Amino acid sequence: MIRTGEEYKASIRDGRAVTMNGERIKDVTVHPSFKPLVDIRARIYDLQHDPETRHLMTYQEDGEAHAINNKLPLSQQDWWDKRRSTDAVFEDVKGVITRVGDETVGEMWSLYDGREVLAEIKKDDPTLGTVGDSSRKMPQKTRKALTALSKLFKEAKRIQEVPTDRGAALSVPSGSRVAGVTQE
């Protein structure tokens, strides 16, 4: 059974130890630094119950509704269903603001952490991480994804030393474009 937004908020008011800048946060659901994120997460649960959006946010299995984003994608349609669900959330919350690059930090660290494995794979397939003549036959989105992956491989290879504070290693240049919609 999918919980409601209020049930979600109640579940994280459990006395967990959360500190920020040395300050103990008593209730993350109302603290100004966490409230916007908690509210969006709660709204996602509520959208799964809302008759207007339930069909976009859930799927049925064994007679029970489940969150579409928890469904293992086994087909192209499953991926499209997840995309429509994400679009419904963004439409409802009127966008999300982020720094450019935040969405790739996890992928960068995964590539860095797995560089030895990737090097072994590359030995078996020297074309990995390159976009050659055969890419002209691919859809444009696939070509762009392969080009981006190639850049990520090169960046992972370029990284020589990782500081203990990972946040310091990946900074966003000043003047970078901001994607999303600002909150009023």
For the chain, how many residues are written?
A: 184
Average pLDDT on 90-109 reads: 69
Please tell me the predicted confidence (pLDDT) of residue 95.
Answer: 76
pLDDT per residue as tens digits for the range 108-132: 667 677 777 777 766 766 665 554 5
- Rounded to two decimals, the pTM is 0.54
Q: How far is CA 116 from CA 13, 80, 100, 152, 154, in A?
A: 42, 33, 28, 15, 14
**Strands in the chain per DSSP E:** 19-20, 23-24, 58-61, 64-67, 98-99, 178-179
CA distance 27 to 117: 42
Q: Which residue has the higher pLDDT, 36 or 173?
A: 36
The second-level CATH assignment, the architecture, of 5-96 is: Orthogonal Bundle (1.10)
Looking from the CA of 103 toward its CB, the CA atoms found within 13 Å total: 8
Please tell me the predicted confidence (pLDDT) of residue 101.
Answer: 56
Average pLDDT on 151-158 reads: 60
CA distance 57 to 76: 17
Strand partners, 178: 99
Please name which of 179, 134, 126 lies closest in space to residue 153, comparing C-alpha atoms.
126
Q: Specify the domain boundaries for CATH 1.10.3140.10 within the chain.
A: 5-96
Across the chain, what does the average pLDDT equal? 74
The single-letter DSSP state of residue 104 is: G
Handedness of CA 104, 108, 114, 117 (dihedral sign): positive
In the numeric block, which tokens belong to residue 146? 């392969």
Region for residue 91 given its phi and psi (left: phi exceeds 0; alpha: psi -120 to 50; beta: otherwise): alpha
Average pLDDT on 133-150 reads: 58
With a cut of 70, say whether residue 165 has pLDDT above it.
no
Banded pLDDT at 154 (limits 50, 70, 90): low
Residues 6+ apart with CB under 8 A from 169: 159, 162, 163
With a cut of 90, say whether residue 158 has pLDDT above it.
no
Please tell me the predicted confidence (pLDDT) of residue 42.
Answer: 95
Average pLDDT on 80-98 reads: 86
